[in-house]
Structure 1
Amino acid sequence: MPGDAWQGYESPGFFDEMIAGDGRPHAAVAELAERIGALDRDELTARRAAAGLDIKSMGITFTVYSDAGMIDRAWPFDIVPRVIPASQWRRVAAGLAQRVAALNAFIADIYGEQRVIADGVFPREVLDQSVNFRPECVGMRPAGDIWAHICGSDLVRDHNGDFYVLEDNLRVPSGVSYMVENRMVAKRVFPELFDAHVIGPVDDYPSELLDALAALSPRPNITPNVALLTPGIYNSAFFEHVWLAGQMGAELVQGSDLYVGDDDCVYTRTIYGLRRVDVIYRRVDDLFLDPEVFRADSMLGTPGLMRAWRAGNVALANAPGAGVADDKVVYAFVPEFIRYYLGEAPTLANVPTWRCMIEAEREYVLAHLDELVVKPANESGGYGMLIGPRATDAEREHFAELIRANPRNYIAQPTLALSTAPTLIDEGLAPRHVDLRPFIVSRPDHPPYVTTGGLTRVALREGSLVVNSSQGGGSKDTWIIDDSHTTAEERV
């Protein structure tokens, strides 16, 4: 056993990412487990307090909209790192790149010839009822037919330790700043652990993102002017907007800072006059981008922005309309997209999914609501879903009515035995459920870039499967660790 701190630690019925069922650490993390186990509770508590002070001093915050006054909270961080062997991660990264390539091909097709519908691979009724399909984007051809330049796909591991894709986020995926800041805090909390292990870096993300954005510029012969468009200080991800703009050296702008001229070019207003913008990394939802085209009452966008984009005078990332693939019903078809567009077998599997729009699958869901997790097609943040085994009879009946009223809007999945990772609580080290959001950056002139790991989110409440920070979850640093010294049989 690696140390007294692990006495009594167990996660029965789940795959634990550090301690195996026999009470011993997995081979790839044995040294790490021993070093952490050698620290007593007082030392671990002191390091947790140091991490908390670090987070406050750096102003790492997030906002919960349901809070009265929407007050910023300090980012919840657990000091025990989550570790994934590099031998496993290589396969996961390849699967993510494959998946995003198929998703971009699907989006390009949907706004183009719609071959996927004509060939019977994807039902037209799903598209017809999509809340994120933008008819205004039909016929557009972004550079390289890439629509989703930044994607955050959520991964989970089951009781065997196998990775599954839980969902894809292609509108305005957030969390990457916390991934990098988690690493900075972890280095200060556990410097000795970084000296003893070969850990994949995560701090290259801003430069990779900037290179990808610059590659989209409609003026390739000059250094592009890149701007990050934010909804403003009341957005829950505003910390990330400021962080990313600063890391990239990009302008942080709001809609009122931009102006579209008679030449259909976009400019920023400066004290020196107008300055042309070539690329906009937008963190504003489609419907608020341009009051000339979408919501006329939007105060977050810029009139004429879509004109400039359609004229090819500015690049927008992610492209408007990319959210058509950010739909949990569309998610269920992604394995078919990989086979259809790429002619390949999926490397990463979906979580088994029942589509309530299909009568036989809907009847199964209605008969097994006490066993399943039911999710609406376009909600995020863990909102609007039913966790059947923990719901009341009244809650299950309410969801049955919702499904019958609008079956296209719901999918169901089994209640997964999500993997656990050691987490420091007041009583010591305890298993808590985790997921993972890696980020994939796509560009026309280069293979996709996949982060080395991603943002690990942890359900801090005992027994909870909800990892979202807005609902009591926290996060961990994610280590992709060199395991070349272990045999295939020893790896996690």
Structure 2
Amino acid sequence: MPITQTSGYDEMLDGQGAVRPAYSEYSGWHGEQDQAWLRRQALEAEGFFRRTGITFNVYGNDAGEERLIPFDMVPRIITAAEWRKLTRGIDQRVRALNAFLHDVYHRQEIVRAGKLPERLLHDNAAYLPQMAGFAPPGGVYTHVVGIDLVRTGPDDFMVLEDNARTPSGVSYMLENRETMMAMFPELFSRVRVRPVSDYPRRLARSLAASAPPAAQFADRPTVAVLTPGIYNSAYFEHAFLADQMGAELVEGTDLRVVDGRIAMRTTRGWQPIDVLYRRVDDDYLDPLTFNPDSALGVPGIMDIYRAGGITIANAPGTGIADDKAIYSFMPEIVEFYTGEKPILRNVPTWRCSESDSLAHVLDNLADLVVKEVHGSGGYGMLIGPTASKKEIARFAAKLRAHPENYIAQPTLALSTCPILTRAGLAPRHVDLRPFVLVSPGGIEITPGGLTRVALKKGSLVVNSSQGGGTKDTWVLED
């Protein structure tokens, strides 16, 4: 089983090249397989993804290109003990995020205490004044959360960013597992892996539990998934989750206000909805409240929401918790709302809005990763070590012109997991997005999540929009 090594903590091999315990059973199985057969299986997996329609659209591509999500068949494996520590940290962070969101839309005690600058809220487009003084049903703001984690050592998992608005990728987590089980069923009898297939059922249950109080007396609250439509990059996921939950997939044109409720068009007339799992950004949700030109949302939905007639998941205004400048204060936020030190650390972060930090970042651009405060998907960022002198100079000009739009972080030696190449197994850098469900009844964390992998040797960019791929994530049973 040939394998090469690279920089960063290798999750499969130790410093002497010995296989770590988490991978021992898998490594034994892999070594028994014919390598040509494994490569044929990789091609079969690609064909399965193509037939199933597991694609994403690339924004900014004039041709409107649809791409396959590259899938690597070597699983990323996490031990039960590692997962227990991660879940404690994720649970703590998600509790703090929900408490923070309630506070910033009410008394703003964290600002009064001097722990967070007021300008980060009121000068922020993600902060919605329309949510001030309003508490969502059950007090839940972030019904679905994706916490992006990176690893730099045996016990060093750090949070790279929080996704509290409309986190995506869970359908790929589920399809990756289904594909692995179809291709290698004998492997799952050899390695005891915690299941993830019940996620849609648990999502449906969690959303139903978050319905407005009046709907709790119904036999089954009605849940629908709001999609921007087939041209959205994550449309496959929207349709997949609606189908798996047994919920209706709707667009804004399918919805209207009827008798003080949000109702969807059906063959039996207009049927009221109790919970709307929206995959539409805040700005497009209600043209009467936000962007008047939006054709994706539902006119009047914010009035119905504030009157208690519907639950919107995630709540409007949760995007303030996605903000990367807010992220830099998460250690203080966690301690302020939980009274505990953070279990999971942040990546060290410089706020370019602060003059001393800006000076440091400008002096060290070639060694840093610089991100837009509101950026996502790997766009609008600079990776200093791989950038040209011209790219660095252009980015320096952007920083000087609008320093408040950026934060900077060190270039981390991300951990690596093996991928299958023609030459055998080779390490590539990875991150991890566990998915968290929040309801009035508590917090559930899916065992595993979406591992994204940089398929190019030495690359640190794992985003699918930037050439990255995904792999199945295994959490081992005790």
TM-score (norm 1): 0.94
Match of 2:373 in 1: 377
- State the SS of the aligned residue for 1:45: helix
- Deviant stretches of 4+, over 6 Å: none
Match of 2:237 in 1: 240
User: What does 1:187-266 align with in structure 2 at a 5 Å threshold?
Assistant: 187-218=181-212, 219-222=215-218, 223-261=220-258, 263-266=259-262
Per-residue deviation, 1:236:
0.5
Match of 1:487 in 2: none
Per-residue deviation, 1:11:
2.2
Per-residue deviation, 1:334:
1.0
Match of 2:327 in 1: 331
**Could you list the runs of 5+ residues in structure 2 that have no partner in the other structure?**
none
User: What does 1:236-315 align with in structure 2 at a 5 Å threshold?
Assistant: 236-261=233-258, 263-315=259-311
Whether 1:407 aligns to 2:381 is no
* 1:105 pairs with one of 88, 99, 110: 99
Match of 1:146 in 2: 140
Per-residue deviation, 1:37:
2.3
The code of the aligned residue for 1:457 comes to R
Match of 1:420 in 2: 416
- State the SS of the aligned residue for 2:63: helix
Q: Please, which moves more after superposition, 223-232 or 422-431? A: 422-431
Counterpart CA distance in 2 for 1:233 and 1:291 is 20
Counterpart CA distance in 2 for 1:112 and 1:98 is 21
- State the SS of the aligned residue for 1:383: coil
Per-residue deviation, 1:39:
2.3
Counterpart CA distance in 2 for 1:238 and 1:66 is 16
Per-residue deviation, 1:322:
0.6
The code of the aligned residue for 1:283 comes to R
Per-residue deviation, 1:357:
1.4
- State the SS of the aligned residue for 1:69: coil
Whether 1:321 aligns to 2:313 is no
Alpha-carbon displacement from aligned partner over 1:372-428 (angstroms, at most 9, x marks no partner): 100010110000001111112222222222222222211111100011111012332
Counterpart CA distance in 2 for 1:267 and 1:56 is 35
Match of 2:44 in 1: 50
Whether 1:477 aligns to 2:476 is no
The code of the aligned residue for 2:460 comes to L
Counterpart CA distance in 2 for 1:434 and 1:161 is 16
Per-residue deviation, 1:160:
4.6
Match of 2:69 in 1: 75
Per-residue deviation, 1:325:
0.8
What is the aligned residue count? 475
TM-score (norm 2): 0.97
Match of 2:446 in 1: 451
* 1:94 pairs with one of 81, 85, 88: 88
Match of 2:455 in 1: 460
Check conservation: 1:18, 1:422, Cα contact below 8 A: yes
* 2:425 pairs with one of 422, 429, 437: 429
Whether 1:363 aligns to 2:359 is yes
Match of 2:17 in 1: 23
Counterpart CA distance in 2 for 1:10 and 1:71 is 34
Q: Please, which moves more after superposition, 239-248 or 187-196? A: 187-196
Check conservation: 2:352, 2:407, Cα contact below 8 A: yes
Whether 1:389 aligns to 2:401 is no
Counterpart CA distance in 2 for 1:64 and 1:293 is 29
**Could you list the runs of 5+ residues in structure 1 that have no partner in the other structure?**
485-492
Per-residue deviation, 1:161:
5.3
Per-residue deviation, 1:365:
1.1
Per-residue deviation, 1:190:
1.7
Alpha-carbon displacement from aligned partner over 1:276-310 (angstroms, at most 9, x marks no partner): 11110000000000110011110100100101101
- State the SS of the aligned residue for 1:186: helix
Alpha-carbon displacement from aligned partner over 1:457-476 (angstroms, at most 9, x marks no partner): 11111111111111111100
The code of the aligned residue for 2:434 comes to P
The code of the aligned residue for 1:458 comes to V
Percent of paired sites with the same residue:
51
- State the SS of the aligned residue for 2:243: helix
Counterpart CA distance in 2 for 1:369 and 1:355 is 14
Counterpart CA distance in 2 for 1:171 and 1:393 is 35
